[in-house]
Copies of this chain bind each other. A is one copy, B any other.
Amino acid sequence: MNEEITGFRVRYPEIDRMGIAHHSHYFVWFELGRTEWMRRRGMTYRQLEEEQGVFFPLIEARARFRAPALYDEELQVITRLESISRLEVRFEYRIVRPEGGRLLAEGITGHVAADDRGRPRRLPVELYERLHGGSAPSSEESSRA
């Protein structure tokens, strides 16, 4: 299964004057989901960065906001690998209120593989396979996961 669910709670400094979460924090929640998605596949950012020298800087981020997230409520971010090649990775996210199942927001992030100076590099095959959940493609074409 390609999807992971991560629970979190909306923090006080994340809400703004309207009493709802400021939109910039949704991208932080997406990141919580992405981090957890990777952890459950045996990879942590820390390991990737420190042991493998692989970083995943963003090249793109998008979100659609459908209903406001309120202070202190428990929400979930549902994270899915959308596509992967040895050069790029894309994740999809949905923020949902578990009670009632309402979709509050959805979005994507696109990443390149880079070294610690931000220069593009290829994902090591072994890492690619763990992310992808299968064997590496012979070409560099993105494979829908």
A129 contacts the other chain (Cβ, under 8 Å)? no
Which residues of A come within 8 Å of B, CB atoms? 11-13, 15-20, 22-25, 27-28, 31-32, 35, 44-46, 49, 55, 57-66, 68, 70-72, 109, 116, 118
Copies per complex? 4
Interface centre among A20, A25, A61, A71 (most CB of B within 10 A): A61
What is the CB-to-nearest-CB distance from A14 to chain B, in angstroms, rounded to a whole number?
9
What is the CB-to-nearest-CB distance from A108 to chain B, in angstroms, rounded to a whole number?
10
Among B20, B23, B32, which residue has its beta carbon within 8 angstroms of that of A27?
B23
Cβ-defined contact, A35 with B72, below 8 A: yes
**How long is the Cα–Cα vector from A102 to B66 in the complex, in angstroms?**
34
